[in-house]
Amino acid sequence: MSTDYDLAETTATRPKGGGSGRAREVPTLPLARWSGVEGRPLLVAGPCSAESEEQVFETARRLHGLQVDYLRAGIWKARTRPDSFEGIGAPALRWLTAAGAAFGLRTTTEVARAEHVDAALHEGIDLLWVGARTTANPFSVQEIANALRGCDIPVLIKNPTSADLGLWLGALERMSAAGVEALGAIHRGVAEARSAPYRNAPAWSMAIELRRLLPGIPILCDPSHICGRRDLIPGVAQHALDLGLDGLMIEVHRDPDHAWSDAEQQVTPERMGQILSELSVRAPDSEDAAFTRSLGALRDRIDVVDHALMGLLAERAGIVELIGQVKKDNNVMPLQSTRWRHLLEARLEEARTLGLEPQYVKAIYDVIHNESVRRQSEIVSGEAGGHGAAGVAPDPGDPGRSEDVP
């Protein structure tokens, strides 16, 4: 299984970042500074698309009182296929701002072009977001960034439709370079061949990596576009909060089944209220002495186990190299798919008996096996100089048969 993002390639080609694998500095205002929200998740809710003035008003009216901070509505819709509803366009901006003003909600919409930015700013929209399809296109992102130069409006960047952390980072960096300081990100899942039951599989590790690289950037989650169906939304929203994400964007429609876009994933305002009331917001940490003590003791044990794991991985790698040498001597290919199939079956069986999730063990073995094949390929092709791993003596009983390993 591949990792669900690829930072190495994107940073290596970045001219200004020195190819160090590090993200550029992205000075960012804390979320609380521009949103006023602190100690609870920021909430964005509203229809996928603005369809009519009444629809936007009724949704806003029924959202009133739910602690929603921003009323969202798509006005220009970047549809994957033509002949779908492509949004009302600029006239709907006024419906959004008027409904927001009537019910005490700030407003937000998606921008994909410079003219969208100009129209939204002109109409007094409070927050802009860049959609997944736009984040995937650096030309469009740069056009938006240029249009935002000198403006003082918060901007949220959705991850691109594919699990490309570099594009997500790049869009944040472009906004930052244009002077946008009230900046945030939205995780909306990624299109994958096997994403069931989700419409866009969550790539939590990509969001966690973004947080590691740019700790100051608030990250929201959009469970609606991750799930694609409304019954999955509460679980994904809770998981996002448990990972420390800073807010939620959820699609809410007055009559979801008759929505002009994304009907299956939208919820009524009343259902939104129920979902919110059932979410738990847990503390990021605790000062409690007993908690600190038991956590410390357990983490010490984890460190010991990880140390042993590292030792075992190094030992395994050494054996893999010895096998590579034996294969080279016998002019045998690095990969024996029969051995790999049997090895994996046996490990997955063992995983089951040990109560480990087979998918988890499979992912680990995919990585281990890829690395084994890579090392052996180097040895067999002569690129690695055929050295054995330090500290691993050849097994004297090893007949050096080819139907073996990695």
**Nearest distance from residue 277's CB to Mn ion, in Å?**
24
Tell which positions 332-371 bind Mn ion, by CB under 5 A: none
Output the smallest distance, CB 304 to ligand PEP, in A.
Answer: 42
In the complex with ligand PEP, the residue whose CB is nearer, 76 or 365, is 76
Q: Please report whether residue 143 would count as binding Mn ion according to CB under 5 A.
A: no
The CB-of-224 to Mn ion minimum distance in angstroms stands at: 6
Q: Which of residues 26, 31, 48, 125 is near ligand PEP by CB under 6 A?
A: 48
Q: Is 181 within 8 Å of 27 (Cβ atoms)? A: yes
Minimum CB separation of residue 47 from Mn ion in Å reads 8
Q: Interacting stretch for ligand PEP, rule CB under 6 A, among 99-107, 131-139, 162-170, 273-281?
A: 131-139
CA dist 134 and 219 (Å) reads 18
Q: Which of 79, 89, 108, 81 is nearest to 51 (CA)?
A: 89
Contacts of 327 (CB under 8 A, 6+ apart): 333, 334, 376, 379, 380, 402
Both tokens assigned to 291: 């908690």
Give the number of other Cβ atoms within 10 Å of residue 153's Cβ: 17
Q: Which 58-97 positions form the footprint of Mn ion (CB under 5 A)?
A: none
The least distance separating Mn ion from the CB of residue 259, rounded to whole angstroms, comes to 9
Is the CB of 251 or the CB of 321 nearer to ligand PEP? 251
Strands 247-251 and 155-158: unpaired
Residues 224-263 that bind Mn ion (CB under 5 A): 262
What's the Cα-to-Cα distance from 358 to each of 91, 342, 354, 369, rounded to whole Å?
53, 15, 10, 16
Sequence-distant (6+) residues with CB within 8 A of 336 are 402, 403, 404, 405, 406
Assess contact for 31 and 182: CB atoms under 8 A: no
β-strand partners of 251: 46
* Residue with smaller CB distance to ligand PEP, 66 or 220: 220
48 binds Mn ion (CB under 5 A): yes
Among 14, 106, 116, 158, binds ligand PEP (CB under 6 A): 158
74 is a site residue for ligand PEP (CB under 6 A): yes
Which range of residues in 42-50, 102-110, 136-144, 234-242 is near Mn ion by CB under 5 A?
A: 42-50
Stretch that binds ligand PEP, among 127-135, 169-177, 280-288, 367-375 (CB under 6 A): 127-135
CA distance 264 to 254: 13
User: Out of Mn ion, ligand PEP, none, which partner does residue 132 contact, by CB within 5 to 8 A per kind?
Assistant: ligand PEP
In whole angstroms, the minimum distance from the beta carbon of 151 to ligand PEP comes to 21
Residue from the set 24, 106, 225, 254 that interacts with ligand PEP by CB under 6 A: 225
Selection from 78, 106, 108 nearest residue 93 by Cα: 108
Q: Least Å distance between CB 318 and ligand PEP?
A: 46
Stretch that binds ligand PEP, among 16-24, 130-138, 286-294, 373-381 (CB under 6 A): 130-138
Nearer to ligand PEP, 238 or 261 (CB): 261
CB of 373 to ligand PEP, least distance (A): 36
Q: Are 389 and 322 in contact (CB under 8 A)?
A: yes
Check binding of 131 to ligand PEP (CB under 6 A).
yes
Q: Which is nearer to ligand PEP, 227 or 322 (CB)?
A: 227
Compute how many residues bind ligand PEP; rule: CB under 6 A: 10
Give the contacts of 179 (CB within 8 A, at least 6 positions apart): 148, 149, 150
Contact with ligand PEP (CB under 6 A) among 50, 56, 119, 132: 132
Asked if residues 128 and 98 have their Cβ atoms less than 8 Å apart, the reply is no
Residues that bind Mn ion (CB under 5 A): 48, 262
Residues that bind ligand PEP (CB under 6 A): 48, 74, 110, 131-133, 158, 188, 222, 225
